[in-house]
Amino acid sequence: MNRDSNGYTFGFAAAMVLVVASVLAFTASSLKDLQSENVRKEKMQNILSTIGIETDREGAEVLFNQYITEQLALKNDGSIDASVDAFSDVKLSFELKKDAQDQRFPLYVASVDANQYYIIPLRGSGLWDAIWGYIALDNDRNTIKGAVFDHKGETAGLGAEITQQWFMDRFVGEKIFNTSGDLVGISVSKTNNDPNDTDKDDHEVDAISGATITGDGVSDMIIERLQHYLPYLKATSADLAYNN
Amino acid sequence: MSQPKSNKKPAIFFVSKESEPLFSKKNRALLKDPLDDNNPITVQVLGICSALAITVQLKPAVVMTLSVIAVMGASNVIVSILRNAIPNRIRIIVQLVVVASMVILVDQVLRAFAYDVSKQLSIFIGLIITNCIVMGRLEAFALGNGVWKSFLDGVGNAAGYGFMLILVAFFRELLGSGKLYGYQVIPDALYEMGYENNGLMLLSPMALITLGLIIWVQRARNRKLIEKN
């Protein structure tokens, strides 16, 4: 057979595309359940870790159902949209593309040892790609109980360090409202002058050298996401305990 | 542009017909040469792009090495099996498709069965496709050699690539972050005496300089590499 003829070339290309496409499609669809199960459990694991409950991926589901008492999908005005399941229906990557009034804002309420925690999912942009995470507010809806961050493609050793425990620990105890009750969020700051983050009233954490853009992304993501929860936080708590 | 003459034989699905032991001297050379004499990175200067990108820490470098070994071994074997059927004019596209499918397969399997490893790899796994060494070996070796030899050649070259990757990552992580494989190795006492990590080591230019120094040492040590002119 003439391997240089046009017919053979076209035939080979067509056969190759068919074979490759079916092999890949078969693998992708047969592994899909396992993969999305991993992603789902990791999400539970991340949510739990913001309130200080560390678990492996396998144990996440049981603990999640035990501690997370409410999963709310909020509208822009702070009311609850009961028709939407916050955990599985709301994908922030899609929600962020909508107008604010069409978005649903997921909120997880956890109760651990009679303490209520409010866990807010975050998503924004880093230097190269998306960054996301969860932030847990204490009972006063002001102090941060814990934060967890993750990223898609930040630089290893620099921006990717936002996933390190020491960076996430810096947020613990910081306040998102200032003393006059305005939402200020938390800034990842290069001029913090507080490398150990002992000052918990400055609304700032120390930035990572060489990760300026990723750090700014974290700051922007926190304030942008939190502001949508203001109506809910104000409505459910008449005496929001500001910075005290 | 032309393929070697030995391709006139019908497709060979098994070990080459010459009754040669599996690990004959020639075959061992296929594995061994890329580690030193013919290293893809330091001698052929291929695959530099990914060598700069993922040598900040040891861990991604090690995982990348393992993935490249798997992808190169498998794609060399596939292309070698198909080498008498691949139309000459679209052979580069065929190689690309083979490599890309292998990478996607590896990625999918990792995501399902080793989720944590796949999270570490994240973007690096996509980088395998762009690695010049993979295509280079397919084009230069697998298209003209038997299955077993191609397999050895793929694994050998991937190992040579990975060896350099790990070597560079070792120095960059040690001097840049004071850690190895994520664990701190430089004692706190040294930091208290005023030692500082060199932040420049974390940036790509230092990978190139480290690589340059490695090439210098290798050329001084290995007589075969000394150029005569």
pLDDT tens digits for range A116-149:
899 999 999 999 999 999 999 988 888 999 999 9
Both tokens of residue B44? 């052929």
Mean pLDDT rounded to a whole number for chain B: 84
Would you state the pLDDT for residue A240? 54
Residue range B109-134, pLDDT digits in tens = 888 888 877 876 666 777 788 788 88
**What is the reported pLDDT for B147?**
93
Q: What local confidence, expressed as pLDDT, does residue A94 receive?
A: 86
Q: Does A34 lie at the interface with B, CB-CB under 8 angstroms? A: yes
Looking at residue A83, its amino acid is S
Number of A:B CB contacts under 8 A?
70
- Distances in whole angstroms, Cα of residue B29 to Cα of each of A5, B37, B79, B158, B207: 38, 10, 21, 14, 28
pLDDT of A233 above 50: yes
Identify which of B54, B89, B199 has the shortest CB distance to residue A156. Answer: B54
Sequence-distant (6+) residues with CB within 8 A of B68 are B128, B131, B133, B134, B158, B161, B162
A131 touches A110 (CB < 8 A): no
Contacts of A8 in chain B (CB under 8 A): 87
Task: Look up residue A14 and give its two tokens.
Answer: 């067509």
Lowest mean pLDDT among A15-19, B59-63, B209-213: B59-63
Average pLDDT over residues B185-214: 89
The pTM of the whole model exceeds 0.95: no
Residues of chain B found within 8 Å of residue A158, distances taken between Cβ atoms: 56, 202
Q: Is the ipTM of this complex over 0.90?
A: no
Band of residue B8 on the pLDDT scale cut at 50, 70, 90: very low
The pLDDT of residue B200 is above 60: yes
Dihedral of the alpha carbons of A148, A151, A156, A160, in degrees to the nearest 10: -30
Asked if residue B18 has pLDDT above 60, the reply is no
Give the pLDDT of residue B11. Answer: 46
Give the other-Cβ count within 10 Å of A193's Cβ. 10
Q: Contacts of residue A31 in chain B, CB cutoff 8 Å? A: 108-109, 111-112
Report CB contact under 8 Å: B60, A209. no
CA–CA distance, B156 with B141 (Å, rounded to integer): 12
Task: Report CB contact under 8 Å: A157, B57.
Answer: yes
Distance from CA of A68 to the nearest CA of B (A): 24
Are the C-beta atoms of residues A188 and A219 closer than 8 Å to each other? yes
**pLDDT confidence of residue A171:** 92
Q: Please determine, for residue B190, whether its predicted confidence score (pLDDT) is greater than 60.
A: yes
How close is the nearest chain B Cα to the Cα of A156, in Å? 7
- Dihedral sign from CA coordinates of B70, B71, B72, B78: positive
- Please write the tens of the pLDDT for every residue from A55-105: 888 888 889 888 888 888 888 888 888 888 888 888 888 888 888 888 888
pLDDT recorded at residue B173:
92
pLDDT at B1: 42
A46 near A56, Cβ under 8 Å?
Answer: no
Angle between helices B132-140 and B91-113 (to 10 degrees): 130
List the 117-176 stretch of A: residues with Cβ below 8 A of B. Answer: 152-153, 155-158
Stronger pLDDT, B12 or B21, i.e. the higher one:
B21
Contacts of B56 in chain A (CB under 8 A): 155-158
B contacts of A24 (beta carbons < 8 Å): 101, 104-105, 108
User: Over 80: is that where the pLDDT of A241 sits?
Assistant: no
Per-residue pLDDT of A187-225, as tens digits, reads: 998 888 777 778 888 889 999 988 999 999 999 999 999
Whether A13 contacts chain B with CB within 8 A: yes
